[in-house]
Amino acid sequence: MLRVGVTGGIGSGKSTVSRRLDELGAHLVDADAVAREVVEPGQPTLEAIRERFGDAVIRPDGSLDRAGLAAVVFADADELAALDAITGPAIAARVAQLRSTAPADAVSVYDMPLLVERGLWVHEHLAVVVEADPDTRVRRLVEQRGLDAADARRRIAAQATDAERRAVADVLLPNDGTPGELERAVDLLWEQRLAPFAANLADATRSRRPDRSNDCVVEPRPDWEARAERVVARLAAALAPAGVATEVSHVGSTSVPGLLAKDVIDVQVGVRHLADADRDDVKRSLAHAGYVHSLGNETDTPHPSGDAPERWGKRFLGGCDPGNHVHVHVREHGSAGWRFALLFRDWLRHEPAERDAYAAEKRRLLQQHATTSDYVLAKEPWFEQAWHRANAWAERTDWHPR
């Protein structure tokens, strides 16, 4: 099941996006609807709110005075945090229950205003952020919800900033235009990314780039580091319960600023023992996060030539997201392969001449090989020499993996 978190500031139009995804066939869970459900009369959450905020926020008929409570919490960050501490666990439990009813091949959409504030985005395969100019949002809140402008701005200020949401956004949907423009953007997102992503998850199929060299390598992209940070955060969260990962790191060419590369995010997961990667709970965690094991790819090329192959063992997984190609290399912490991945990255980051030499070698080999797989194999002789130069640099600079 593909998990998609939809969020955005109040008045941004996230509910419009969620409704359209529902119309397209998604299984929708609305956090606001669940939040209303868990504070209905007779629910323990409502009683906890009464105890914390007093009878003034309870109507004569026993229901919650939502407007009165909002006036209290949106004016005071501590009060808002206290309310979140009461309602958060109840909402999370009910959301999990509702999402568990979705079919295995479904696109499960979670419409959640506080997806960023509560760090819940790390548990979603994708975070879709709907964004609109603050003045546009204030106008909508005044015209459509009857708020006064000052109250609208207070509510906007109490939520995450646009920059904080963009940092976690796998998909950013601007909504300063017409409703039709937003609907077309959502339809395109469904067709090109969500539906294929869900199908890949259901079939345990990793996304792949075409095996051709003429367009496999691109100039440096400004979004590589942000994309990698989200992958790292999600993998760390997914593996945390198993307690096997020593670290999760962005490695490979996309981790080196200024270096042309295949548009693929390479991530290394260090584990205490390589056998940990074969545990059933670890495999389930990685599959739940959207990564598929690739059989037959269980070692890196040893360096220097002739080194023991067992020092270079690994497990390799590919991501299922067609909009963000990811390779995950699981290596034993302290192994030769684990060390070289970190050394190679840091060496190229600190030695621009070596980075440029590697870029030149890439360009040369791209002219000679028609497929990506042949191009990758042809780089191995260069890597053999690079291993020696990188280790000499490590000795000169007293480099150690961190």
Domain boundary among 141, 168, 203: 203
237 token code pair: 């969260």
Domain boundary among 174, 203, 232: 203
395 token code pair: 């000795």
- Per-chain mean pLDDT for the chain: 94
Residues 137 and 65 in one domain: yes
pLDDT(115) > 90: yes
Residues 294 and 243 in one domain: yes
Cα 9–Cα 12–Cα 18 angle in degrees, nearest 5: 100
CA 272 to chain centre: 24
Binding residue ranges for ATP: 11-16
Element (H, E) at 52: helix 44-53
Q: What share of the chain is helix, strand, coil (3-state, %, to 5)?
A: 55, 15, 30
Residues 8 and 150 in one domain: yes
Residues 176 and 232 in one domain: no
**Roughly what angle, to the nearest 10 degrees, separates helices 380-397 and 336-350?**
80
Please, which residues have CB within 8 angstroms of residue 122's CB and are 6 or more apart in sequence?
Answer: 233, 234, 236, 237
What was the pLDDT predicted at 250?
98
Q: DSSP state, 219?
A: -
**Could you tell me the CATH number of the domain that includes residue 289?**
3.30.460.10
Residues 198 and 225 in one domain: no
Residues 61 and 197 in one domain: yes
The band of 275, judged by pLDDT with boundaries at 50, 70 and 90, is very high
Give the model confidence (pLDDT) of 38-58 as tens digits: 999 999 999 999 999 999 999
Residues 22 and 63 in one domain: yes
What was the pLDDT predicted at 326?
98
Residues 172 and 245 in one domain: no
What was the pLDDT predicted at 238?
97
Query: Within 13 Å of residue 352, how many CA atoms lie on the same side as its CB?
Result: 1
Domain boundary among 144, 177, 203: 203
Q: What span, in angstroms and rounded, lies between the C-alpha atoms of 348 and 342?
A: 10
Q: What is the mean pLDDT of residues 337-349?
A: 98
pLDDT(101) > 80: yes
Domain count, the chain: 2
**Could you tell me the CATH number of the domain that includes residue 27?**
3.40.50.300
Q: What span, in angstroms and rounded, lies between the C-alpha atoms of 1 and 337?
A: 33
CA 195 to chain centre: 17
Residues 118 and 223 in one domain: no
Q: What span, in angstroms and rounded, lies between the C-alpha atoms of 88 and 322?
A: 32
What was the pLDDT predicted at 209?
85
Binding residue ranges: 11-16
Please, which residues have CB within 8 angstroms of residue 78's CB and are 6 or more apart in sequence?
Answer: none
Inside any domain, residue 317: yes
Q: What is the mean pLDDT of residues 75-89?
A: 90
The band of 329, judged by pLDDT with boundaries at 50, 70 and 90, is very high
The band of 89, judged by pLDDT with boundaries at 50, 70 and 90, is very high
What was the pLDDT predicted at 203?
95
Inside any domain, residue 210: no
pLDDT(334) > 90: yes
Give the model confidence (pLDDT) of 194-241 as tens digits: 999 999 999 999 998 888 877 789 999 999 999 999 999 999 999 999
Q: What is the mean pLDDT of residues 358-365?
A: 95
Residues 129 and 233 in one domain: no
Indicate the range of 28-37, 244-253, 364-373 predicted with least confidence. Answer: 364-373
Domain of residue 53, residue span = 2-203
The band of 147, judged by pLDDT with boundaries at 50, 70 and 90, is confident
pLDDT(296) > 90: no
Nearest to 120 by CA among 236, 5, 242, 35: 5
What was the pLDDT predicted at 123?
97
Give me the count of residues in the chain: 402
Inside any domain, residue 73: yes
- How many CB atoms are located within 10 Å of the residue 233 CB? 15
